[in-house]
Amino acid sequence: MFHKEGHKIILGTLFIVVALFFLVDNFISTYWIRTALMIVVLVFFILILQFFRNPKRHTQVNDKQVVSPVDGKVVVIEEVMETEYFNDKRLQVSVFMSPINVHVTRYPIGGKVVFSKYHPGKYLVAWHPKSSTENERTTVVVENQTYGKVLFRQIAGALAKRIVNYAKENDTATQGADQGFIKFGSRVDLYLPLDTNIKVELNQKVRGGKSIIAEM
């Protein structure tokens, strides 16, 4: 199953792959060169398919828990000052996505979308300390009566050239449901209450909609 954000790219890439196969087959006479080029083109197409895959995830909905919004590796767990929405100290948990990870963004908690904003910006590497405030990004805050408010931020990386955010203020968010997509390498930051119980460690690999990041 592929994400809808990749349908046009996959179709366009397929046309290019077919055209390249035709050209290579008709104009390259040396067998090993022809075979090698076809393999390279095929591998490229497989990588595109892998990037836009959208595996089904069954999220155990729990208003007392925050699940990972994306697949990737935990690269930051620290207390910080969040200055865009809360203007107070929060626990930041950041998940870095490599180009081979699933890039679907999912709601970490269920509830009401109370804030959603897009920010144009730079394309620093996603692990750069300033990427959270200087890169192209979106900020979304979801609130439920049990956990309170959770802010999560999609951040473009050096390769990411488009962030897709479906969240609109006053929408009803379902934990684990599709919230957006980030194209080609990026990260997501979570900002949680200071008294939350963090359930992950640095460098731990997590899965969007499945891995528990924190709980009350």
DSSP for 10-27, written as a single string: HHHHHHHHHHHHHHHHHH
State how far the Cα of 199 lies from the Cα of 190, in Å rounded to an integer: 13
Phi-psi region of 176 (alpha: psi -120 to 50; beta: other; left: phi over 0): left
State how far the Cα of 121 lies from the Cα of 181, in Å rounded to an integer: 17
End-to-end CA distance of the chain: 34
98 catalytic residue (yes or no):
no
Longest dimension (CA), the chain: 68
Nearest to 92 by CA among 191, 188, 186: 191
Residue with tokens 């709980």: 215
Active-site residue among 68, 94, 131, 186?
186
Q: How far is CA 166 from the centre of its chain?
A: 13
Residue 146 β-bridge partners: none
Nearest to 122 by CA among 111, 112, 132, 113: 132
H-helix or E-strand spanning residue 77 = strand 72-82
Tell me the catalytic residues: 186
